[in-house]
Structure 1
Amino acid sequence: MKIYAVCGHGLGSSFMLEKNIRTVMEKLGKAAEVSHTDLASVSTDLADIFVLGQDLAPGMHGKVDPHKIIVLKSIISKAELEEKLGQWLTDHV
Protein backbone atom coordinates (compact mmCIF):
# COMPACT_ATOMS: atom_id res chain seq x y z
CA MET A 1 0.00 0.00 0.00
CA LYS A 2 1.23 3.49 -0.87
CA ILE A 3 0.14 6.61 0.98
CA TYR A 4 1.06 10.13 -0.09
CA ALA A 5 0.74 13.27 1.99
CA VAL A 6 -0.09 16.21 -0.27
CA CYS A 7 0.49 19.94 0.15
CA GLY A 8 0.72 22.93 -2.12
CA HIS A 9 4.45 22.76 -2.79
CA GLY A 10 5.42 19.29 -1.52
CA LEU A 11 7.79 20.64 1.10
CA GLY A 12 7.06 21.51 4.73
CA SER A 13 3.49 20.60 5.61
CA SER A 14 3.38 17.43 3.51
CA PHE A 15 6.64 16.24 5.06
CA MET A 16 5.21 16.82 8.55
CA LEU A 17 2.02 15.03 7.55
CA GLU A 18 4.08 12.13 6.15
CA LYS A 19 5.76 11.71 9.53
CA ASN A 20 2.37 11.74 11.28
CA ILE A 21 1.01 9.15 8.84
CA ARG A 22 3.98 6.88 9.62
CA THR A 23 3.30 7.26 13.36
CA VAL A 24 -0.42 6.53 12.98
CA MET A 25 0.14 3.52 10.70
CA GLU A 26 2.60 2.07 13.22
CA LYS A 27 0.07 2.63 16.02
CA LEU A 28 -2.60 0.88 13.92
CA GLY A 29 -0.21 -2.00 13.23
CA LYS A 30 -0.37 -1.49 9.46
CA ALA A 31 2.44 -1.39 6.92
CA ALA A 32 2.62 1.13 4.09
CA GLU A 33 5.06 2.96 1.89
CA VAL A 34 4.58 6.61 2.88
CA SER A 35 5.87 9.67 1.07
CA HIS A 36 4.89 13.24 0.27
CA THR A 37 4.31 15.32 -2.85
CA ASP A 38 2.92 18.57 -4.16
CA LEU A 39 -0.60 18.94 -5.53
CA ALA A 40 0.56 19.45 -9.13
CA SER A 41 2.39 16.08 -9.12
CA VAL A 42 -0.59 14.01 -7.99
CA SER A 43 -1.83 11.34 -10.38
CA THR A 44 -4.24 8.50 -9.77
CA ASP A 45 -1.57 5.79 -10.10
CA LEU A 46 0.85 7.45 -7.68
CA ALA A 47 -0.72 6.03 -4.50
CA ASP A 48 -3.56 4.08 -2.95
CA ILE A 49 -4.38 6.88 -0.50
CA PHE A 50 -3.81 10.64 -0.64
CA VAL A 51 -4.00 12.60 2.63
CA LEU A 52 -4.38 16.39 2.52
CA GLY A 53 -5.88 19.42 4.20
CA GLN A 54 -9.35 20.60 3.29
CA ASP A 55 -7.91 23.73 1.65
CA LEU A 56 -6.42 21.55 -1.12
CA ALA A 57 -9.42 19.24 -1.59
CA PRO A 58 -10.90 21.22 -4.53
CA GLY A 59 -7.58 20.84 -6.38
CA MET A 60 -7.92 17.05 -6.26
CA HIS A 61 -11.22 17.05 -8.15
CA GLY A 62 -10.84 15.02 -11.30
CA LYS A 63 -7.21 14.01 -10.57
CA VAL A 64 -7.85 10.82 -8.60
CA ASP A 65 -10.70 8.58 -7.53
CA PRO A 66 -12.46 10.36 -4.63
CA HIS A 67 -12.35 7.09 -2.64
CA LYS A 68 -8.55 7.42 -2.51
CA ILE A 69 -8.67 10.81 -0.76
CA ILE A 70 -8.64 11.53 2.97
CA VAL A 71 -9.36 15.18 3.73
CA LEU A 72 -8.33 16.57 7.11
CA LYS A 73 -9.73 19.66 8.81
CA SER A 74 -6.40 19.98 10.63
CA ILE A 75 -3.24 18.47 9.16
CA ILE A 76 -1.56 18.68 12.57
CA SER A 77 -4.22 16.68 14.42
CA LYS A 78 -2.96 13.13 14.92
CA ALA A 79 -6.30 12.21 16.49
CA GLU A 80 -8.22 13.24 13.36
CA LEU A 81 -5.66 11.52 11.13
CA GLU A 82 -5.89 8.30 13.15
CA GLU A 83 -9.70 8.38 13.07
CA LYS A 84 -9.98 9.01 9.33
CA LEU A 85 -7.11 6.79 8.23
CA GLY A 86 -8.30 3.98 10.49
CA GLN A 87 -11.80 4.28 9.05
CA TRP A 88 -10.46 4.27 5.49
CA LEU A 89 -8.48 1.12 6.19
CA THR A 90 -11.52 -0.56 7.76
CA ASP A 91 -13.68 0.35 4.75
CA HIS A 92 -11.20 -0.46 1.98
CA VAL A 93 -8.72 -3.11 3.12
Structure 2
Amino acid sequence: MSKIRIMVVCGFGLGSSMVLKLKLDAVLKQHGLKADTFCADVMTAPSERYDLVFTSRELLATFQGDTRPVVAIGNFLSEQEIAEKGLLIIQQLLAHQAS
Protein backbone atom coordinates (compact mmCIF):
# COMPACT_ATOMS: atom_id res chain seq x y z
CA MET A 1 0.00 0.00 0.00
CA SER A 2 1.12 3.53 -0.70
CA LYS A 3 1.58 6.00 2.11
CA ILE A 4 -0.31 9.22 2.50
CA ARG A 5 0.78 12.27 4.49
CA ILE A 6 -1.48 13.14 7.41
CA MET A 7 -0.91 16.48 9.10
CA VAL A 8 -2.07 16.87 12.70
CA VAL A 9 -2.60 20.53 13.58
CA CYS A 10 -2.97 22.46 16.82
CA GLY A 11 -2.29 26.04 17.82
CA PHE A 12 1.43 25.61 18.41
CA GLY A 13 2.17 22.20 16.86
CA LEU A 14 3.44 20.75 20.13
CA GLY A 15 1.20 19.49 22.91
CA SER A 16 -2.27 18.59 21.74
CA SER A 17 -1.25 17.77 18.18
CA MET A 18 1.38 15.34 19.50
CA VAL A 19 -1.25 13.60 21.65
CA LEU A 20 -3.60 13.33 18.68
CA LYS A 21 -0.77 12.11 16.44
CA LEU A 22 0.12 9.32 18.88
CA LYS A 23 -3.52 8.22 19.08
CA LEU A 24 -3.88 8.41 15.29
CA ASP A 25 -0.73 6.30 14.87
CA ALA A 26 -2.23 3.71 17.24
CA VAL A 27 -5.47 3.59 15.23
CA LEU A 28 -3.55 3.20 11.98
CA LYS A 29 -1.49 0.36 13.45
CA GLN A 30 -4.59 -1.41 14.80
CA HIS A 31 -6.08 -1.41 11.31
CA GLY A 32 -2.89 -2.32 9.45
CA LEU A 33 -2.68 1.03 7.66
CA LYS A 34 0.48 2.99 6.94
CA ALA A 35 0.74 6.75 6.67
CA ASP A 36 3.31 9.44 7.32
CA THR A 37 1.90 11.44 10.22
CA PHE A 38 3.39 14.71 11.40
CA CYS A 39 2.52 17.68 13.60
CA ALA A 40 2.25 21.30 12.53
CA ASP A 41 1.12 24.56 14.03
CA VAL A 42 -1.78 26.50 12.63
CA MET A 43 0.43 29.23 11.12
CA THR A 44 2.78 26.98 9.13
CA ALA A 45 0.21 24.29 8.24
CA PRO A 46 -0.87 25.87 4.93
CA SER A 47 2.69 25.66 3.58
CA GLU A 48 3.06 21.94 4.36
CA ARG A 49 2.57 19.09 1.89
CA TYR A 50 -0.24 16.81 3.06
CA ASP A 51 -3.14 14.68 1.87
CA LEU A 52 -5.34 14.89 4.96
CA VAL A 53 -5.63 17.01 8.11
CA PHE A 54 -6.66 16.04 11.62
CA THR A 55 -7.35 19.00 13.89
CA SER A 56 -9.66 20.32 16.59
CA ARG A 57 -13.17 21.56 15.94
CA GLU A 58 -11.97 25.02 16.99
CA LEU A 59 -9.39 25.13 14.18
CA LEU A 60 -11.63 23.64 11.49
CA ALA A 61 -12.38 27.06 9.96
CA THR A 62 -8.64 27.52 9.33
CA PHE A 63 -8.92 25.00 6.50
CA GLN A 64 -12.08 26.41 4.93
CA GLY A 65 -11.66 26.36 1.17
CA ASP A 66 -8.99 23.64 1.25
CA THR A 67 -9.81 20.92 -1.26
CA ARG A 68 -8.14 18.23 0.83
CA PRO A 69 -10.14 16.42 3.53
CA VAL A 70 -10.11 17.77 7.07
CA VAL A 71 -11.17 15.70 10.08
CA ALA A 72 -12.22 17.63 13.18
CA ILE A 73 -11.75 15.73 16.44
CA GLY A 74 -13.44 16.72 19.69
CA ASN A 75 -11.63 14.36 22.07
CA PHE A 76 -7.96 13.92 21.14
CA LEU A 77 -7.68 10.95 23.53
CA SER A 78 -10.50 8.97 21.92
CA GLU A 79 -9.19 6.37 19.51
CA GLN A 80 -12.83 5.47 18.84
CA GLU A 81 -13.66 8.99 17.65
CA ILE A 82 -10.50 9.13 15.54
CA ALA A 83 -11.39 5.81 13.92
CA GLU A 84 -15.05 6.68 13.39
CA LYS A 85 -14.31 10.02 11.77
CA GLY A 86 -11.09 9.26 9.93
CA LEU A 87 -10.67 5.62 8.93
CA LEU A 88 -12.94 5.65 5.89
CA ILE A 89 -11.25 8.78 4.52
CA ILE A 90 -7.78 7.30 5.09
CA GLN A 91 -8.77 4.04 3.39
CA GLN A 92 -10.20 5.94 0.42
CA LEU A 93 -7.03 8.03 0.05
CA LEU A 94 -4.83 4.93 0.24
CA ALA A 95 -6.98 3.14 -2.36
CA HIS A 96 -6.84 6.16 -4.65
CA GLN A 97 -3.04 6.33 -4.39
CA ALA A 98 -2.70 2.61 -5.07
CA SER A 99 -4.71 2.85 -8.30
TM-score interval, normalised by the smaller of the two chains: 0.7 to 0.9
Quick one: distance in 2 between partners of 1:85 and 1:3? 11
Deviating 4+ runs (over 6 angstroms): none
Shift of 1:84: 1.4
Q: How many residues align?
A: 91
1:70 aligns with 2:71: yes
Q: Counterpart amino acid of 1:35?
A: F
Which residue among 26, 30, 52 is the counterpart of 1:27? 30
Q: Which structure is richer in relative contact order (CA contacts within 8 A, separation 6 or more)? A: 2
1:17 aligns with 2:20: yes
1:80 aligns with 2:81: yes
Larger radius of gyration: 2
Calculate the TM-score normalised by the size of structure 2.
Answer: 0.81
CA-atom RMSD in angstroms: 1.6
Q: Which residue in the other structure is 1:54 paired with?
A: 57
- SS, match of residue 76 in structure 2: coil
Shift of 1:89: 2.4
Identity %: 23
Instruction: In structure 2, list runs of 5 or more residues that go unmatched.
Output: none
Calculate the TM-score normalised by the size of structure 1.
Answer: 0.86
1:37 aligns with 2:67: no
